[in-house]
Amino acid sequence: MTTRYKMTMAYDGHLFHGFQMQPNQRTVQGTVEEALSKMTKGKRVIVEGSGRTDAGVHAIGQVIHFDYPGKQIPAEKMILALNSMMPLDIVFKDCEIVEEDFHVRYSAKGKWYRYRVSQDRFVDPFRRFYTGHFPYPLDINKMQKAAQDLIGTHDFTSFAASGGQIVNKVRTMYYVNVQEDKENNEIIFDFICSGFLYNMVRILVGTLLEIGNGKRPVDDFPRVIKAKNREEVRETAQANGLYLYHVFYEELPNKYRQDRDL
Which are the catalytic amino acids? 54
Contact 55, 63 (CB under 8 A): no
Count of positions (residues) in the chain: 262
Q: How many CA atoms lie within 13 A of 238 on its CB side?
A: 16
| Burial of 177 per CB tally in 10 Å (0-12, 13-18, 19+) | middle
